[in-house]
Amino acid sequence: MPEFVDTSPPGQCIFCRLIAGEIPASRVYEDDVTLAFLDLAQLNPGHALVTIKRHADTLLDLTPDEAAAAMRTAHRVAQGIRKAFDPPGLTLLQCNGVEGGQTVGHFHIHVVPRFADDGVGLVWPRKDPPREVMEATAARLRDALAVFA
């Protein structure tokens, strides 16, 4: 479980207050839709968060244009991190819901420069289902995606 979960009402969450300038932030990039700022809990120097200015709890609450804008900003910030810190690796992390590891109820993407032996890890317990289960799962997802065509 996450260490901290911000359950403030929309518009009063820590990111909404940060976007509004009510609390300080080390801002690194801003446009009409997005804001990028340094995470207070720096995993490595340059660890930034990209968020949408409009309050949206998760990725599923974004419009397609907002989702695209967030990824464009994450890409831009990643390029800046590469130029400023020259990390040999980079991790993008975007969590949704408490069970997904989200700690602030306002959509955001972590852009984390990575270095050998930096202590940052990701637990990924593989399930390795059989092929027939994979095909049934793919069919179920294809059916669900058909409504968005």
Do the Cβ atoms of 73 and 36 come closer than 8 Å?
A: yes
Strands 48-52 and 89-93: unpaired
Query: Is 109 buried (19+), middle (13-18) or exposed (0-12) by CB count in 10 A?
Result: buried
C-beta neighbour count of 36 within 10 angstroms: 24
Residues facing 108 on adjacent strands: 51
Q: Which two tokens stand for residue 138?
A: 């793919």
Q: How far apart are CA 108 and CA 102, in angstroms?
A: 9
Catalytic residues: 108
DSSP class of 92: E
